[in-house]
Structure 1
């Protein structure tokens, strides 16, 4: 479930800290109007390390960043505040690069060098407090019938970087916290 600028639609903002900490059980049906509470019968009060969220990925269309409403920006900032408070790793994935008029369409590998897109990337990275080195551009499949090795290579590169970020997150976790989270298994 994604987020939406209207209240009562999309993810309930009160659920986010519980989701990040691993308190929400697998296959729990999220309700946009009613957040989970510690009183819920399936609430995980002592989540283990495997229950926690290790990486949050913000996926945004690069072409619609300027069109984000102030309510949506506020929700994204609220989520990022919770992500930072939980110490969870995060990445920013900017999609629809193939539709971005500011990028050179003839050379996908050099698209990061386009100055206009760089300023957009820096703006959204700053807006969400996601480090620029955790921000990735991904050309996505929209209506292709065949796989494109160039797109696949880029997507796999980004996935590998995400795994490295999570690995760094786990390595930086205090030993006492890891022991307490794995002991609850």
Structure 2
């Protein structure tokens, strides 16, 4: 199900002094295998190029166009997407329908055409705590089966090193150091991927 209806751009602030950190996180509507439901694939290029404004209301039936009153016609480099993160429920990755796989491939084609970096994030992993407490360096190998890694690698062409694990915050009232380790580790890898994208841009 697609719970996000608006395109949201979030600034991240330093917990100590409240200053905005030099990156932003963007959240879009998710994909759905049914036609006319979920994010319209035709919106992807506009999102990647930075043409979609914050709080834009998505329409599964009609993508944004340059005629839209809030369409950003001349986005700057800071408006563009530097790294795309595909988020998967680890429990459903082996059961994706052919229609959903086809939509992912459409999205991946647009991402590759724009030369944007990309990673895959696995959520809802069952044994995060056991792995982290035992050996943090082996967490990806222990928490994800080789078949799941290979499926995502084959389906989306994402490098194995960019297939990452995070643990969701759901009903917690306090910060959890173990969850934070996974989130920060994934964020660090996303920054590296974004750096590769930026370094590959023409000097001008």
TM-score, structure 2 normalization: 0.76
Unaligned runs of 5+ in 1: 177-185
Pick the aligned partner of 1:107 from 128, 131, 154: 131
The equivalences for 1:35-74 within 5 A come to 35-74=63-102
Give the length in aligned residue pairs: 172
Please tell me the root mean square deviation across aligned C-alpha atoms, in Å. Answer: 2.0
The equivalences for 1:1-185 within 5 A come to 1-98=29-126, 106-108=130-132, 109=136, 110-114=138-142, 117-144=145-172, 146-176=174-204
**Whose strand proportion is higher, 1 or 2?**
2
Deviation, structure 1 residue 9 = 1.3
1:59-107 per-position Cα deviation (integer Å, ceiling 9, x unaligned): 0011111111111111111101100000111110011112xxxx68733
Alpha carbons 1:20, 1:53 under 8 Å: kept: yes
Alpha carbons 1:104, 1:114 under 8 Å: kept: no
Quote the Cα distance in structure 1 between the aligned partners of 2:143 and 2:179: 21
1:129-185 per-position Cα deviation (integer Å, ceiling 9, x unaligned): 111111111233344455332221121111112112112211221112xxxxxxxxx
Unaligned runs of 5+ in 2: 1-28
- Who is 1:180 aligned against? none
TM-score, structure 1 normalization: 0.83
Quote the Cα distance in structure 2 between the aligned partners of 1:147 and 1:26: 28
Quote the Cα distance in structure 1 between the aligned partners of 2:85 and 2:74: 24
Quote the Cα distance in structure 2 between the aligned partners of 1:85 and 1:172: 14
Change (3 A) 1:47 1:139: same
Quote the Cα distance in structure 2 between the aligned partners of 1:131 and 1:36: 31
Larger relative contact order (C-alpha < 8 A, sep ≥ 6)? 1
